A and B are shown apart, each in its own frame.
Chain A
């Protein structure tokens, strides 16, 4: 194996040029002013100070609320789905996992547009409600639309890691628990769930990362007035042209995500040590 190590070098070059350098540039932009050219820059903390204005803090709070809500729903639905999948024979299981990933073969943009067709005031759902003589419901441009879009987009990222860790559980552990007098619920909670925690945590991290930085889904399903962190950053870069402020928001977001992941990993560790 050792002689393959050198093969990693092109990737190292790639990572430095395409990941490290842009990251450093973002950090540099975030602590400077002077527009988008890096010729006449001045160092400042103004960009970060601007983030403390109530309007921007509210954007952060809202993003986190929605992110956590979507992750919670994903966890609930994803766990049930992953658990049910493990009840099938191995061949059927791989087919079912494939089915879970099928939506990911289609571009997010298209899937989101499909939701627009379903949810809009004159959309398919309201047409069906109309058939039963029910009043149309406004679903577009609400929290509901955004959360449903996020959940449907992120569900595979929750199901797959959970399914993987559920699969790894030795079935004899269940038998042992049952033999020792645990009822089905106790077996599930103290054996199955406990052993699947690494998968659950991975799923939570993945979906949380994606939901907190999303901007296409809230823009399309929430409308232009629906501002989450991702939209705020996009707005600063694309239409306002204030790359310095945009970078500062990105840095803060990256920092918060870093803290979130580290604390998640700590939970993971604690769980293992407990055993």
Chain B
């Protein structure tokens, strides 16, 4: 009898450990799992949405498209994602998304036609624009000589500013800069061109000693720590609204026109709720709250106009120039090219 008791005890302890791991959810409300960029939303909207639709939103954030992709690959399931252009194209090609039912998104009428139908999803079958913008150089007008800006991206290798720049810790954007500076397409698959861009970045590392920053660039530029930083236009708009000495500049050699869009994964079980969420975010008032909170440019015309006139008046980064003739949108890369870039980027970062 005693022996059995002990066995039972062992079993219970084991089970308790297991159940402790497996449970955690248990409410009967429908749950929506959203996976988006960090600091990309006015979080009070999530509470409003939960109240309005009597549901629970689990909102998680990532800091790069690649890390989002890796997490999804390792089996984590989400309902709504907010990745960028080329990653959306990748997810479409790999059957990771389901088509949007536009009839469930009446607020789509408010979207700017100009940001619809980009190459990565020509008919917007899978993606609903959330924010868009460019990549450019944010510079401190009290330190940087405006004449130097004529060098375009090469200013990032101007030794006058050695030790005084932030690069962006992103593989594709860093190679975009090098490729554009050399006059190539940022979607090139020519390995000679890629190698040249790699050399450009290695030389920049040697001479300029740049810091490859992530989101910490925001606080650092607000406090004016360095003369220049490569940033997304939306971050630039936000930083400029906090520090008046800064200006935003897009080199004529061309830049990355990016778009982050809401998509519904093929794993999504709460399809209707997911559509409701997307529709909720496109509501002019909500889109306005988001764009003001984070500084990124909204594709919802009414929200964008209001923000541009009131909150970001005179802020050149809020309405970035997306008409440059050398500008491009990132495209999906074949696995082989992607790995080639990834390895070179690891080497750039590891070089000492």
Contacts and interface: CB of A to CB of B under 8 A. Distances in A.
Interface of A: 3, 6-7, 9-10, 13-14, 36, 55-56, 58-59, 62, 116, 120-122, 138, 141, 220, 223-225, 227, 232, 235-242
A148 B211 CA distance: 19
A122 B352 contact: no
Contact of A239 (B6, B7, B9, B66): B66
A239 B211 contact: no
Interface string B201-242: 000010000111110100010011110000000000000000
A223 B211 contact: yes
A7 B58 CA distance: 37
B339 A242 contact: yes
A224 B64 CA distance: 13
A239 to B, nearest CB: 4
B171 interface: yes
A55 B345 CA distance: 12
B66 A240 contact: yes
A121 B66 contact: no
Given A14-B17, A241-B66, A224 B213 contact: yes
B69 interface: yes
B73 interface: yes
A236 B210 contact: no
B5 to A, nearest CB: 11
Contacts of B67: 238-239
Interface size class of B (residues with CB under 8 A): 35 or more
A235 B220 contact: no
B349 A227 contact: yes
A241 B349 CA distance: 16
A13 B345 CA distance: 41
23 contacts: A6-B7, A55-B351, A56-B350, A121-B223, A121-B226, A122-B223, A223-B211, A223-B212, A223-B213, A224-B349, A225-B205, A225-B210, A227-B349, A227-B350, A227-B352, A232-B350, A235-B346, A236-B346, A239-B70, A241-B69, A241-B342, A242-B342, A242-B343
Contacts of A59: 350, 352
Contacts of B351: 55, 58
B142 interface: no
A262 B130 CA distance: 55
A223 to B, nearest CB: 4
A100 to B, nearest CB: 30
A62 B220 CA distance: 27
B313 interface: no
A239 B171 contact: yes
B195 to A, nearest CB: 15
Nearest to B13: A10
Interface string B7-41: 10110011001000000000000000000000000
Nearest to A138: B163
A224 B225 CA distance: 16
A224 B10 contact: no
A224 B213 CA distance: 6
Contact of A241 (B7, B10, B73, B163): B73
B349 A225 contact: yes
Interface of B: 6-7, 9-10, 13-14, 17, 64, 66-67, 69-70, 73-74, 163, 169, 171, 205, 210-214, 216, 220, 223-226, 339, 342-343, 345-347, 349-352
Contacts of B345: 240
Q: Is the interface of B mostly helix, strand, loop or mixed?
A: helix
B30 to A, nearest CB: 30
A39 B347 CA distance: 29
Given A7-B10, A224-B214, 19 more contacts: A6-B7, A6-B10, A7-B9, A10-B10, A58-B351, A120-B220, A121-B223, A122-B224, A223-B213, A224-B169, A224-B212, A235-B346, A237-B70, A239-B64, A239-B67, A239-B342, A240-B343, A240-B345, A242-B343
B351 to A, nearest CB: 6
Nearest to B16: A10
A33 to B, nearest CB: 11
A13 B74 CA distance: 24
Contacts of B211: 141, 223-225
Nearest to A227: B350
Contacts of B350: 55-56, 58-59, 227, 232
B208 to A, nearest CB: 11
Given A225-B205, A225-B210, A58 B352 contact: yes
B245 to A, nearest CB: 13
B181 to A, nearest CB: 19
Nearest to B223: A122
A241 B169 contact: no
A224 B205 CA distance: 12
A55 B163 CA distance: 22
A36 B349 contact: no
A168 B349 CA distance: 48
From A59, A138, A239, residue with most partner B Cβ within 10 Å: A239
Q: Top 8 A-B pairs ranked by shortest CB distance?
A: A224-B212, A224-B169, A239-B66, A223-B211, A122-B223, A240-B342, A10-B14, A227-B350
Contacts of A14: 17
B140 to A, nearest CB: 12
A21 to B, nearest CB: 15
A150 B169 CA distance: 23
Contacts of A121: 220, 223, 225-226
A235 B70 contact: no
A235 B349 contact: yes
Contacts of B224: 122
Nearest to A223: B211
Nearest to B350: A227
B11 to A, nearest CB: 9
